[in-house]
């Protein structure tokens, strides 16, 4: 069984906005890292969760599934999910899967933070 090649650092960008800095590969093996980071951000009072994909190396269909699971949790908690730093390739995947209709995509961190405020 493969080990996850994913680390996620949680940081506060604004009083009610947390950024999850994603580094590595978002696959099914990264579920614990992603959900733990989300829980940490929520426990710190975040109402907007920003996913930073700047250091994303790879994401497969299982990783997309994890994002859908995260999106459902965020919506149940009446929070908002945004993203920035997606390469052109992953922007196209978000469009094909229609994730871009549920997760607001921004070019830069400052835009994502401003939108979440």
Mean pLDDT of the 61-75 span: 96
E strand intervals along 48-100: 48-59, 80-84
| pTM: predicted TM-score of the whole model, two decimal places | 0.93
Q: Give the residue from 60, 93, 77, 61 showing the smallest Cα distance to 18.
A: 77
Give the Cα-Cα-Cα angle 52, 30, 36 (nearest 5 degrees). 75
* Least confidently predicted of 56-60, 97-101, 111-115: 111-115
Measured on CA atoms in the order 67, 64, 26, 85, is the torsion positive or negative?
A: negative
Q: Give the residue from 111, 5, 1, 112 showing the smallest Cα distance to 56.
A: 5
Mean pLDDT of the 83-112 span: 94
Q: What pLDDT does 4 receive? A: 66
Residue 8 has pLDDT above 90, yes or no: yes
Percent of the chain, pLDDT > 90? 86
Per-residue model confidence as pLDDT tens digits over 24-67:
999 999 999 999 999 999 999 999 999 999 999 999 999 999 99
- Domains annotated on the chain, with CATH: 6-116 (3.30.750.24)
């Amino acid at each position: 069984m493969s080990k996850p090649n994913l680390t996620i650092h949680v940081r506060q960008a604004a009083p009610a906005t947390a950024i999850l800095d994603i580094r590595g590969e978002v696959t099914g093996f990264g579920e614990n890292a992603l959900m733990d980071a989300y829980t940490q951000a929520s426990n710190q009072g975040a109402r907007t969760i920003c996913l930073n994909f700047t250091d994303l190396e790879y994401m497969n269909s299982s990783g997309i599934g994890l994002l859908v699971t995260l999106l459902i949790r965020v919506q149940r908690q009446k929070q908002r999910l945004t993203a920035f730093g997606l390469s052109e390739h992953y922007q196209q995947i978000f469009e094909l899967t229609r994730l871009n209709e549920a997760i607001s995509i921004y070019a830069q961190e400052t835009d994502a933070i401003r939108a979440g405020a």
